[in-house]
Structure formats: structure tokens, C-alpha cells
Chain A
Amino acid sequence: MSTSGAEYIRKIKSEITEVDPTAAHELVGDGVAFVDVRETDEFDRGHVPGATHIPRGYLESRIDGAVPDRNQHVVLYCASGQRSALAAKTLEELGYEHVESMTGGFTLWKDRGFEFDVPRTLSPEQRERYSRHMLVPEIGPEGQQKLLDAKVLLLGAGGLGSPTALYLAAAGVGTIGIVDDDEVDLSNLQRQVIHTTDRIGTPKVDSAQEAMNAINPDVEVVKYQTRLDGSNIMEIIEGYDVIVDGADNFPTRYLLNDASVRLKIPVVSASILGFDGQLSVFAPYDGPCYRCLYPTPPPAELAPSCGANGVLGVLPGTMGLLQATEVVKLIVGAGEPLIGRLLLYEALGATFTELKVRRDPDCPICSREPDEISDQEMGVFPDYEAFCAAAG
């Protein structure tokens, strides 16, 4: 004998636990997982604050990522309480011990005057473009929105800056600033993949903008065709959420460190030479700064540039993409950022080594409050003048 859909839902409802919206409302912020099983367009028009969105059709495949603990108290809701009843039955069959379906659904929740969030939504084109991010629980629509709202400054559109810029643009970082006073040269193209042969002689910031917007026209590229110095750095970097250090010289790296500590902006730092790369994240006051790691740079003869000593063309790709990964993690708040750790990559041996980096209690910069650091001391290090004279 066949059963009507309505009868089936009534039967399911008799087998699960339901909760009234007023009782459910008292559970908000109480460690209870609210799961919205409606379709995306319904969720986007408004939902219970803090609710996780899993359309019912994806419930079985996504619930483990969203609510891994089978003992977690879960409140499911839909528009009227029918789809959520079916979903509650499914979760019980999956072993969830404490599942309730909200009667009357989101419609009754709103009618009772309870608060709800209306998220800023992505356009259909953005949903398609970033669909693979949407599927990753650590990013999802919220993380993608954070990326779209983020402002990242790239120091250099060279070896490290090229892959970083391309991938951050592709990832949808909304505003990407680039500081570089150089022009594209034929010798750059062995590794600086954002530039092209037909753009030789073009300012690197223009060339980079063309490539980034070709990948993703949504990205606002802010160009600084200049060299960072003590007179312009504070103005340029202020307002950025994360800075990517791909500078090719020590004075700029120390200057950036000091200014970023003053403004409390995290720096994802990498450097390369030959077959070796180094990577760390310097988060002011949360971890060590560049000066804690390197109180003073080596003399010029022990610090050759890539121009003098050469670099494997692939290496800045490897290190730059590790930088880009750290940037995305910082923006969306996922994982464990490389703060207080230095990652060494040695390409010939194909080895990674991780070293601890400690805050220096006597650090000339980050042991002090930001407003105690003066313009005059930014970027200065012992024997600075001799260093710069030797480096030419």
C-alpha cells in the first residue's frame, strides 16, 4: 500500500524530536549547532545567526565536516519544519545523539521577531568562479567574502611577487597593492611568470595589473611605482590587512619590518637564493618580528643577491605560493599560520626544515610599543651606512 508524502512526513515527525522556535532561540550562543538545510537562495535571504548552511541534498556528505561530534546538540531548521524533520531522521540514522528539528522553521522564527542575519551575497558569477573554495569547509562563502574584502600589499612584482600576485588575484583577494619601481627585463622572464615577452620595458606594476585583471577582473589593483623608503612607507602600507614581503634587499626588509610593527600589520616573508628558500610569518606582538630572527644583516659578501648569484627559476614559484597560502590562511582564519616558525626549503635535496623563531625580549623594535618607534629609526640597523655603501 502506498503512502502519501504528507503521511510519510507525519510519520517521520513522530519518530524525531522537535523544538519550538522560542525554545530554540534560548539555545543560540549556548554551544548548540544550528544547521540550516534550505537551499542557497533561501539561506541568502536570511538565516539564524551563526547557523551552518548545508542544503539537505548535501547533508550526508557535509555534516561530518560541519559537526564532527556525534554527541553535539544539533538544531536543524528549514522554512517550515518539514525538510528539517527529514534531515533530523537522517542525522539520527548517522548516529547523532541529540538532534532536534525546529517546528515552523525559519518562517515562524521570523514571525516571532527573533533576530536573523542577511549575509552579503556573492553574485552567480562569483559563486561559479569561487565554487571550489565554497566546497572547502575552511573557506566556504564566509571565507570567500573575507577574501573579497581583504587588502593585501605585495612588496615587489618580481620572482616571489609574480606567483603570489597571480594566485591571490585568482583566489579573489579584493584589493591587491603592488610596490615596484622596476620595468620588465628579458632576464626577469626565467622566473617572473606574471610578466611576458611582449611587455619587456613596461613598468612591472602595469604588467602585473594586466595579468591579474586578465585572470580576475574583480580584483582592484593599486599600483605604487616607487621604491619604499622611510618617507613613504607608512602612508603606503597603512590600511592593508597583510603584507607580502618579496623584497630583494635588506634595507627594505628591515624598513618594512619596523613600519609593519608600528602599524601591527602581519608580514608573510620569504627570501630565495640559488636553490634555497626561507619562509615565515611575522605577526607583530603575536610572534617574533624579522629583527628577532635577524638582529643584523650579514655583510654584503655573505648576502649576495639573485642578480649576483643566480636563482633556480622555479624556486620563487615554490616559495611565493607558500607565501600566498599563508596569506589566504591569515585572511580566512584557517589552520596554523607560520608564526614563530621558519621554514627552510632546499630544492637540491628536496628537503624542508622547520626551525623555531622566538620573540627577542630585547628586540630594538617589537619589545617596545608602536608609538615609541620613531620615523628616524625605521629601517636602520647596526652598520647600516657601511652596509649600504658596500652594497652600492
Chain B
Amino acid sequence: MAVVRIPPVLRPSTDGAKEVNAEGDSVGDVLRTLAQTHPSTESQLFADGGDLNRYVNVYLNDEDVRVLDGLDTPVGGDDILVILPAMAGG
């Protein structure tokens, strides 16, 4: 089961959890499992067509899934997914 790191802006949608364990064999599967468990994350992660929102960066361990196979990127049980939002605070 992969670990998904939840950024602060999404934590209200995960009952404050900083990390959530989620089943899935691909990045898309894991994130959809997260969205099923915590439904209010869905609209923040996914666009209408089921793709990731353009403003959501997702990393498999330390690599951006955009340079891998996107939502189809395979995920192993020991992998960590990092959801990364841009922040502008200074």
C-alpha cells in the first residue's frame, strides 16, 4: 500500500492527516482510492475528464509523474506519492 503525502491545503479534506495509505497499482489508482476515502479531495485533484488538474504536481518518490507515465505510472507498495501544490507566501 502506497503512502500519499497530503499538503496542508488538502488536509482539511483528509481530516487533518498528513499522510494517507491508499491501495492501487498505478498513480491514478492510488489517487482515486484516496478520492474515494476522502471525497472532497476529488475535485481538487482531478479535472472533469479524469486527468490530474494542471495545477496539481504529483511525485512518485522524487520524480514528477509528468515525466514518467502520468496517472498510468506503476506504483509499488513501498512507494511514496507526494502531492505538491504551488505556494506563494513570502
CA distance A358 to B65 in the complex (A): 11
* B56 contact set on A, CB distance < 8 A: 298
Partner of B90, one of A159, A275, A297: A159
Per-residue contact bits, chain B 48-90, to A (CB 8 Å; 1 contact, 0 not): 0000001111010011100100000000000000101111111
Q: Does chain B have a CB within 8 A of A295?
A: yes
Range, interface on chain A? 35 or more
Interface-located stretch among A8-16, A31-39, A349-357: A349-357
* B86 contact set on A, CB distance < 8 A: 250, 271, 293-294, 297-298, 303
Partner of A248, one of B84, B85, B90: B90
Nearest B-chain residue to A252, judged by Cβ: B88
Q: Does chain B have a CB within 8 A of A304?
A: yes
* A294 contact set on B, CB distance < 8 A: 55, 57, 86
CA distance A278 to B64 in the complex (A): 16
* B63 contact set on A, CB distance < 8 A: 355-356
CB distance B90 to A357 under 8 Å?
no
* A274 contact set on B, CB distance < 8 A: 8
* A273 contact set on B, CB distance < 8 A: 8-9, 87, 89
CB distance B9 to A304 under 8 Å?
yes
Q: Does chain B have a CB within 8 A of A299?
A: yes
Q: Does chain B have a CB within 8 A of A158?
A: yes
Q: Does chain A have a CB within 8 A of B7?
A: yes
| Interface residues in chain A, defined as those with a beta carbon under 8 Å from any beta carbon in chain B | 155-156, 158-161, 245-250, 253, 270-276, 278, 293-299, 302-306, 309, 311, 316, 342, 344, 346, 348-349, 353-358, 382
CB distance B89 to A272 under 8 Å?
yes
Task: List 8 additional A-B contacts (Cβ < 8 Å) besides A273-B89, A276-B7, A276-B87.
Answer: A156-B90, A253-B88, A270-B90, A274-B8, A275-B8, A276-B8, A297-B86, A305-B88
* B54 contact set on A, CB distance < 8 A: 295-296, 382
CA distance A309 to B87 in the complex (A): 12
Nearest A-chain residue to B55, judged by Cβ: A298
Shortest C-beta distance, A76 to chain B (Å), equals 46
* A303 contact set on B, CB distance < 8 A: 9, 85-88
CB distance A296 to B7 under 8 Å?
no
CB distance B82 to A271 under 8 Å?
no
